[in-house]
Amino acid sequence: MFERLGRVIVHRKSRILAIFLIIFISAGVIGSLAFGRLDSGGYTNPKSESAKAYKYLQENFDIEDPAVVLIVDSGSRSVDDPTVISDVIALTSELRQMQNISKTFSYWDSKAPQLKSTDGKAAYIFIYATKSDFDVLSKVAGVVTKTYGNKYRSLTLYATGTGVAGHAINGQISKDLAKSEAIAIPLTFLLLLFIFGGLVASATPLVVGVSAILGSFFVIFLISLLTDVSIFAINLITGLGLGLGIDYSLLIVNRFREELHRGLSVNDAVIKTVATAGRTVFFSGLTIMMTLGSMLIFPLYFLKSFGYAGITVVAMAVIGALIPLPAMLALLGNRIDKYAVRKSAITPKEHGGWANTAHFVMRRPVAVLVLTLIGLGIFAAPIKDIAFGQVDSQVLPKNHPAAESARVVGERFPGRESVPVEFVIEDGTKFLGSAELKLYQAEIGSTEGILYLTDAVTSGKILRFTAIHSMAPRSLPAEALIDKLREIPAPVGTLIGGAAADYTDTQQGIADALPWALLWISISVFLLLFIFTGSLLLPLKAVLLNMLSLGATLGVITWIFIDGHLANLFGGFTVTGTLDTGSVILIAVTTFGLSMDYEVFLISRIKEEYEAGKSNADAVAIGLQRSARIITAAAFVLAVVFGAFVLGGVTSIKMLGFGVAFAILLDATVVRGLLVPALMRLFGNANWWAPKQLKRFTISH
């Protein structure tokens, strides 16, 4: 199959390149329309109890989350001072005239004591948007904070709320990404020049990477016509597109050079490259696609979007590596090494540092295995303290206005009036004034963390009341509070909603989906690797080794971002005691996929040498020497790209960058360089065993 593909490419190389150029330029032009269709939200579980409660509140009580919660500080004066009142009236009048703002509501409208601070010198203004979708809330927050900053006449302003947090975090991420790219792109170019050894060869990742990115934009545009897609899918497309472009180009170009070095003609070298390295790329891509496909199991479209983007960009990278890249190599021939800057990168070697490492490991496989597992166990040990949360203003730098505003709320307003727990009872009018409802409310009021309850109101048949609590809504204490409230016997048809319930339901939705995602990854990867290797043992080892590597990574992340070690080295961050659930899942799935990428690269070469008649030990040594240089080079480049994220100001992005960089470096060196050779030596020829009945399901060159 792959050899036939190689023959087609060498005979129609010019036509293939021309067709692909037209297709991908067209895809990029059409795909650019996707940017206007992507959303910034997708962090809630749309099928949850809290989502159902929110729908009832919107439809029956016109309840919305405020885009901005403005804390107005009157300084040394009371909030009821005439000058303060005059300034507030002027401020709210201006706010109501702004685009996308539907209304405001404040302490000065109601004189409700719970809407002012304990010292009586600050109070709330709630600013509502014309639409409740995340993008409009964020837009309103951006306009308000830009227009007023932290001052209006005699008043000091602190802006917080859903829209403000979203606008601040997305804005900080955009700024941080620009800084990261300014550092990573020049470094990546220099590394590619060093790794490929020449100017012409170092440009080949662009063929795969750019075609993958442009093609993916087009597919994401089509998907956005059918369902919601997160704007952050673009970041994964760009990062994975370039990353896999580097990986696959290294593999293809290195094999092409190797075949030329053996004396094959250019056309024969291309055919051999597609038949061997091309097959590896194909199965590597399938494995990563299956891994990233697990994101589609989660209920949040923020995570689903990474599934759409991941599957698409990997498929496009595989196509780019299998068709236009070999066509370009067929046209370039020996000119692939033109403008060489490092001759040693061009000439392939059967013996060298990695082969020596493999022989050393295989002479002492038990000792290396035990010591390496102990080391990974030490890295993984802090995972016992892992706890999960969600992104809020605490992920911002401590001196960011949104983070400071959130601290003001916690310090000066004991009740979280802007984010109450909502109680909605379907067909609840029959309970109004009943003993059952009074008993239920009494139980709620006596629950630790609840400050007071509002009176019950009705709209049609729906009954609603709220409970004001004293804790941050997206936190472990708030989750525990919701769990307690849901344990209280309630009238039939009761739904619990609000920000804390939304947080709880989202975390639970992720937790419910996680076992299925892990099962999907394990089974699909096992089956693909079995088809690829014809072995039952190798796929099992691959999955288990990846789990070990992932456990070590999560342990180190916990040690740094939960326990707070080395915080200053990472530019300082607020230790919240939790890790962002979405970021952890993204780290886990992405690094698992990339680790499998490296596993396929390594095992493919070992298998080829073994099938050529080499002993198990020699096949491992030669395979490691041939592939480890590619694996470590690709891992190092990706580590630079992701490691640059650590320089940003958003904690979850720091964690994402460090987590991916650490995981792929650990995997490419310790796991592939030490554990794999040790286990291959210990199991010997059993590595390649499978029942004869199953062998017919495997694929050969």
Label the pairing between strands 388-389 and 579-580.
Answer: parallel
Q: Please state which architecture CATH assigns to domain 350-392+514-701.
A: Up-down Bundle (1.20)
d(CA 625, CA 606): 10
Q: How far apart are CA 192 and CA 213, in angstroms?
A: 19
Contact 587, 553 (CB under 8 A): yes
Q: How many Cβ atoms sit within 10 Å of the Cβ of residue 534?
A: 20
425 CB-near residues (< 8 Å, 6+ apart) = 431, 462, 463, 464, 491, 493, 494, 495
Judge contact between 456 and 465, C-beta under 8 A: yes
- Provide the residue type at 338 as one letter: K
Q: How many residues does the chain have?
A: 701
Amino acid at 514: L
* pLDDT profile of the chain (701 residues), mean per 10: 89 92 91 81 86 92 87 92 94 93 91 87 93 84 91 92 84 80 83 84 86 93 91 84 88 90 92 93 93 94 92 95 94 84 57 79 93 96 91 81 86 79 93 92 94 91 93 87 96 94 94 94 91 89 92 96 88 84 92 90 89 87 85 88 85 90 94 92 88 69 48
Q: Where along the chain do the CATH 3.30.70.1320 domains lie?
A: 63-167
675: which DSSP letter? I
With vertex at residue 53, the alpha carbon angle to CA 51 and CA 58, rounded to the nearest 5 degrees, is 95
Distance CA 644, CA 188 (A): 11
**Quick one: how far is CA 260 from the chain centroid?**
40
Q: Where in the chain is the domain with CATH 1.20.1640.10?
A: 1-36+197-348, 350-392+514-701
Phi, psi angles (nearest 5°) of residue 122: -155, 150
Q: How many CB atoms lie within 10 A of CB 304?
A: 21
Q: Do residues 638 and 620 lie in contact, with contact meaning Cβ atoms separated by under 8 Å? A: no
Collapsed DSSP state (helix, strand, coil) of residue 146: helix
Residue 71 phi, psi dihedral angles, 5° rounding = -95, 120
On whether the CB atoms of residues 103 and 164 are closer than 8 A, the answer is no
**Confidence (pLDDT) at 347:** 53
Instruction: Please give the CATH topology (third level) of the domain spanning 408-505.
Output: Alpha-Beta Plaits (3.30.70)
What is the distance between the alpha carbons of residues 329 and 623, in angstroms, rounded to a whole number?
24
> How far is Cα 669 from Cα 321, in angstroms, rounded to an integer?
25
Number of helical H runs and strand E runs in the chain: 26, 12
Enter the tokens of residue 79: 């909030």
105 SS3 class: strand
Residue among 413, 377, 360, 338 nearest 113 (CA): 413
- Position 447 scores a pLDDT of 95
**Nearest Cα residue to 292 out of 586, 530, 540:** 586
pTM: 0.87
Q: What topology is assigned to 1-36+197-348 in CATH?
A: Multidrug efflux transporter AcrB transmembrane fold (1.20.1640)
Question: Residue 465: beta bridge partners?
Answer: 423
* CATH 3.30.70.260 domain residues, the chain: 408-505
So what CATH class is 63-167? alpha beta
Q: What are phi and psi of 303, to 5 degrees?
A: -80, -40
The helix/strand/coil state of 129 is strand
| Alpha carbons 258 and 270: distance in angstroms, whole number | 11
Q: Which amino acid is at 232?
A: F
Element (H, E) at 465: strand 462-469
CA distance 545 to 551: 10
